[in-house]
Amino acid sequence: GENVEQHPSTLSVQEGDSAVIKCTYSDSASNYFPWYKQELGKGPQLIIDIRSNVGEKKDQRIAVTLNKTAKHFSLHITETQPEDSAVYFCAASTGGTSYGKLTFGQGTILTVHP
Amino acid sequence: SAVISQKPSRDICQRGTSLTIQCQVDSQVTMMFWYRQQPGQSLTLIATANQGSEATYESGFVIDKFPISRPNLTFSTLTVSNMSPEDSSIYLCSVQRASGAGELFFGEGSRLTVL
């Protein structure tokens, strides 16, 4: 089955700096890659996703890049703010009827210091 | 995104008892799933809740331990049976909207502590 590795496990940055979280996956059939943000005591919130037919997607301060050849994808957050502090999870699935059957990475605890 | 309501939001349970978690969605969805998040860990898919038929379980999860119902398009229940402390986790309902592009949305979760 699919295996998703996520790094780093913790990331500490100063407000205004950029943050990058990287994930690798093992199943070449995977073609859908969402990112979730989970704040303390809450459920995961979808923040951005990318499908295998594109290499990059951007939404304001958040961007995701995908390299299907190397089987890795990354989350980039620019101009970080204290409100960005949370646990971030990457995930992968083979899409189609299996969009919801996600394999998650281990999570990254992001701390943004004011 | 869909509004997903889970009950209870948290509970403390005794070993050997069972607890049923309810998930209600505000709009019709195509797929509903149940995930587990053990303390400080990532999320793991338990099963797909199929409307009007038996749920489809992932490896390591069985119907006797986690019976699931989905009587209609907007409601599902997950029961955690004969609980032990190892079942202490957050149980999350997740859905794909009928009008969406396949994105998966999560409820706030049900935080169970088993003593």
pLDDT tens-digit map of A52-110: 888 999 999 999 999 999 999 999 999 999 999 999 999 999 877 677 889 999 999 99
Contacts of A32 in chain B (CB under 8 A): 102
Best of A9, A46, A90 to mutate (most B CBs within 10 Å, chain B):
A46
Alpha carbon of residue B2 to chain centroid: 16
Q: Which two tokens stand for residue B40?
A: 């400080």
A72 C-beta neighbours (distance < 10 Å), count: 16
Cβ distance of A101 and B45 shorter than 8 Å: yes
Specify which residues A44 forms β-bridges with.
none
Query: Which of B48, B58, B108 lies nearest to residue A42, judging by beta carbons?
Result: B108
Chain center to CA of B30: 16
User: B69 in contact with A at a CB cutoff of 8 Å?
Assistant: no
Over residues B69-108, the pLDDT tens digits come to: 999 989 999 999 999 999 999 999 999 877 777 789 999 9
- Please state whether the peptide bond connecting residue B67 to the residue before it is cis, i.e. omega within 30 degrees of 0: no
Write out pLDDT tens, residues A16-41: 999 999 999 999 999 999 999 999 99
